[in-house]
Amino acid sequence: MSQRTAEAAVRTINDTVQTAGTCSIVLSGGSTRRTLYSLLASQFRAQIPWAHVHVFWGDERYVPPEDSRSNFRMARETLLDHVPCPPANIHPMPTHFPSADVAARDYELTLRNHFVEEWPRFDLVLLGIGDDGHTASLFPGSLALAERTRWVVAAQAPVEPHVRLTLTLPALTRAAAVYFLVAGAPKADALRHVLEGRGDWIKYPAAGVRLGTGSVIWWADREAAAMRNVSQ
């Protein structure tokens, strides 16, 4: 799954750089994307025009960048430390402000400096889903799901670390392409709900990532994609 996703990501990045001169990608945390990041940093490293790639984050745990739970640290160790992406092109979510809300607003300014349009249009967003249907740090029932104007908000997670920063649904849904990577049997129910359910994004936030003009691609392993009945 990671191999196929890496091949497609390389095509998307190259096509975008060829037409637009630059490509913005969004990384997320969790463990499923580790293999993809490692592949992009090794086998596919030379096939990516890193000088033209800008890296952003879809969500961050509100911990220092050296904390083992940091999404930035995971991306640095698996990917960014091994590729010639200019440091000025790497835009981690800040976690040094005393208030996570201030940090969210600061990151929105970073994004607004990069994207001059009314909304950001990321070229490639890499996301995952949790067993509960969450994506980025948009958890079921979260107030952050109701956000309509801000691009980035501070959010609460039901699991540690509880304080997070996350892109909002309106910021994510303007993307040109979103790849969801989903692995393992515990994800099967959530995946089925998101793909075949009634689009209940309050209960299954990943269902809210529906793009206006872009495309969402689901990369799932056999276990996650297993035929299962949707539990009620």
Task: Mark the segment that binds ligand 6PG (CB under 6 A) among 9-17, 131-139, 145-153, 170-178.
Answer: 131-139
Does residue 32 bind ligand 6PG (CB under 6 A)? yes
Does residue 168 bind ligand 6PG (CB under 6 A)? no
Q: Report the distance separating Cα 227 and Cα 83, nearest Å.
A: 38
Give 31 or 43: the residue with its C-beta nearer to ligand 6PG.
31
Task: Mark the segment that binds ligand 6PG (CB under 6 A) among 82-90, 127-135, 214-222, 223-231.
Answer: 127-135
Does residue 136 bind ligand 6PG (CB under 6 A)? yes
And the tokens for 187?
């994800």
Tell me how long the chain is: 232
Instruction: Return the residues of window 46-75 that contact ligand 6PG according to CB under 6 A.
Output: 59, 61, 71
Q: Report the distance separating Cα 213 and Cα 173, nearest Å.
A: 9
Residue nearest to ligand 6PG (CB): 30
Sign of CA dihedral 69, 72, 73, 79: positive
Question: What is the closest distance, in whole angstroms, from the C-beta atom of residue 19 to ligand 6PG in the complex?
Answer: 29
What DSSP line would sit under 134-150, residue for residue?
A: -BTTB-TT-GGGG--S-
41 Cβ contact list (under 8 Å, min separation 6)? 78, 79, 80, 81, 82, 83
Does residue 135 bind ligand 6PG (CB under 6 A)? yes
Question: What is the closest distance, in whole angstroms, from the C-beta atom of residue 84 to ligand 6PG in the complex?
Answer: 25
